[in-house]
Amino acid sequence: MTDIRIGIWRDQPDLGFLNEVLAIPGGEAAAACIQCGTCSGACPTVRDMDSSPREIVAFVRAGYRDRVLNSNTIWMCASCYACYAQCPKEIKITDFMYKLKQIAMREGYKNPGARRARVLARKFADTVRKFGRNSETRLLLKYFFATGIFSALKYTGMALSLLVTGRLDVFPKKIKGSGEVRAILKRIDEGAAMRR
């Protein structure tokens, strides 16, 4: 159960956080949220979240940085866009979740439910930086080496099935323009470093 009063007592509103989150394309719509809860009703994983999507919107608007970034909610979002599509105020809740994941990852928030999602996102980004494309096999191998190889054992049957049907991309293809992709990513990193 969530006790909103505890949140008010513990969290100091953080305007920098609020402004960064609301700066996403169309983010200002969050001001119009009427707290109807349609997003939470539409969400297929709300029962696995410690705060519902409706609460997250409320906490973001209140500027409760730690409360939002420590919640497992942002990592339980599968990006199905059901909340966003059904919101009567057209608030892009899925995009807020993306933004919150990015901030939490950048600032090293350690939510127990978040580690695996964080590793997957990082490994994915590494693969794209190197090859220009994703390789599902390489991504999964890297993921399981980072999160515990034993958890990979239960995927053995699946891996065998993919192997015998020729669906494992063991050797990823590197695109000709992978240098272009790296130049693009490098420029963004430099820009971010300059802003800091």
Q: Cα–Cα distances in Å, from 41 out to 54, 65, 84, 167? A: 9, 24, 12, 37
Q: Tell me whether residue 3 or residue 189 sits nearer to other proteins (CB atom).
A: 189
How far is it, in rounded angstroms, from Cα 168 to Cα 3? 48
Of 13 and 88, CB closest to other proteins: 88
Minimum distance, C-beta of residue 34 to other proteins, in the bound complex (Å): 19
Q: What angle do CA 151, 134, 130 make, to 5 degrees?
A: 105
Which of 108, 109, 121, 127 minimizes the C-alpha distance to 147?
A: 121
Minimum Å gap between C-beta 109 and other proteins is 13
Q: How far is the CB of 173 from other proteins (least distance, A)?
A: 7
Q: Please tell me the distance from the alpha carbon of residue 167 to that of residue 122, in angstroms, as a whole number.
A: 24
Instruction: Give the nearest distance from C-beta 59 to other proteins in angstroms.
Output: 19
In the complex with other proteins, which residue's Cβ is closer, 107 or 136?
Answer: 136
Nearest CA to 132 out of 175, 76, 71, 194 is that of 175
Nearer to other proteins, 6 or 175 (CB): 175
- What are the residues binding other proteins (CB under 8 A)? 23-26, 44-45, 48, 75-76, 78-82, 84-86, 92, 94, 98-99, 101-102, 105, 113, 116-117, 120-122, 124-125, 128, 132-137, 140, 143, 154, 157-158, 161-162, 165-169, 173, 175-181, 183-188, 191
